[in-house]
Amino acid sequence: MCGRYSVAVSVKDKNNKASKVARLLEEYQAPARYNAAPSQSLPVVTADEPEKLQLFSWGLLPNWANDRSQTNKPINARAETLLEKPSFRGLISRRRCLVPADGFYEWRKTGDGKVPYRFLLKSEALFSFAGLWDEWTDPETGEVVDSFTIITTEANELMRPIHDRMPVLLHPQEEELWLSGEQANEHLLSLLKPYPSEEMKFYPVSSLVNSPAHDSPEVLEPAPEQGSLF
């Protein structure tokens, strides 16, 4: 799954020149986020407005929900069952989005508790998660709530010792394909695959990441490895 991520790398870095989301983050002067967490308002780019950076709540509130207090607001959507779940099957064809990031966190279970790790590209460049979004309108007040979920797939070889799932990372050339309304579902679903292990790296971080209250550069700092992964 994906329950925390960061979008803190410099958007002016030369590695980000090919990234659509890097250009939009710079244009809209989005603040750095070191420990983005569910329920927070976070930057996304939608197929409806592909040249605009918007802030949506992380945790999908479907348009058919009775009220906003609905407890099941999925932060992740499994790629393998998108067309089966009522919350997602109507969104794959009409409400796709890019979720800018430069890394994400996952926890490894050990005998002494859970150890957090940060996963990122070897280039340390920005990338996009493949996401879905929806718009819910309060029937009494007319208030509109925009929210999103991040699509996950099976883990690649790099991540498998830590967790059996990972978020879907898109290459820069796949961002436009994901946003394009002209692609058939079968083609879009083919993008929802594990990112190549050889293009990624990871390292342990401190328990600061365990609390969303910690949203500072210190969260990104490497911590000593705690035992073998194998």
> What are the catalytic residues?
2, 106
Quote the CA–CA distance of 152 and 5 in Å, as a whole number.
13
77 burial type by CB count under 10 A (0-12 exposed, 13-18 middle, 19+ buried): buried
Q: Is the dihedral of CA 43, 45, 46, 50 positive or negative?
A: positive
Please choose, from the candidates 59, 70, 62, 58, the residue with its C-alpha nearest in 3D space to the C-alpha of residue 86: 62
